[in-house]
Amino acid sequence: MIMQSVQDGVQILRLDRPEKKNALTGAMYSALAEALETANQDDEIRCQMICGHEGAFTGGNDIGDFLSYAGKVEMADTPVVRFLRALARNETPLVAAVDGVAIGVGTTLLMHCDMVFASPNSLFRSPFVDLGLVPEAGSSLLGPALMGHARAFELLCLGRPFSAQRAYEVGLVNEIVEDPDAAALACAREIAAKPPEAMRLSRRLLRGDTKPLEDRVEQEAAIFAERLTAPETVAAFQAFMTKKASA
């Protein structure tokens, strides 16, 4: 469910579960985490590109998986947390192409990307609070740093949808383009063609010390795990599943 290919120093990671709007399962997080971790050790991979399908970057974490985690597993050991740690520690330039929905982690993972290309049809939304949850992926730290507290609050706490234009205005998206896959791939190739050591060192300088980010990922995950069993959260998940069942 993650299609992977490498060409000209660029590894493409395509989320490939279109019938479920690319909702992310444990297996998909594991594959993504593995790809990020491996690339850091592989000189041949100079840039990674993450993308989805027409109409769906991702519908976010699979809600059925959330229900199966709740109260039964140590959140710290889940594939999703492994993926979020890998994002926070990532050393390889990461470019994203977004078309359609980018929900939950589909929005917050973009805060870890170096370049983001989105189609005019993209929609960014983080309904964490509506689901009884809290922001994750370090977004409670990266969001306010990127766009200021007020706009981060609107996105991450109010759960208001951001259009491609709004995402561009707040700095989540670099460019709005008709063909984000093509634009992201061209950019990834441009990155891969640059002197790799200078690129790696420069990127590291821009990102600065990642320890606070790594700490925030853990802090968010601990609160998130507690929230998974909260009555208001269970009710929100069940409402989604019931809506599905009766649709």
Minimum CB separation of residue 148 from ligand COA in Å reads: 23
Residue 41 or 246: which CB sits closer to ligand COA? 246
Residue 61 or 78: which CB sits closer to ligand COA? 61
Binding mask 125-154 for ligand COA (x = CB under 6 A): --xx--x-----------------------
Q: Under 8 Å CB-to-CB from 117, ≥6 apart: which residues?
A: 95, 96, 97, 98, 173, 174, 175, 176, 177, 180, 183, 184, 187
Binding mask 217-246 for ligand COA (x = CB under 6 A): ---------------------------x--
Max CA pair span of the chain: 55
Q: What is the DSSP string of 168-234?
A: HHTTS-SEE-S-HHHHHHHHHHHHHTS-HHHHHHHHHHHH---HHHHHHHHHHHHHHHHHTTSHHHH
Binding mask 87-106 for ligand COA (x = CB under 6 A): --------------x-xx--
Residue given tokens 């690319």 in the structure block: 22
Strand order in the sheet with 123-125: 56-58, 101-103, 123-125, 162-163
160 touching ligand COA, by CB under 6 A: no
Minimum CB separation of residue 241 from ligand COA in Å reads: 8
Residues within window 51-80 making contact with ligand COA, judged by CB under 6 A: 59-64
Binding site for ligand COA (CB under 6 A): 20-21, 23, 59-64, 101, 103-104, 127-128, 131, 244, 247
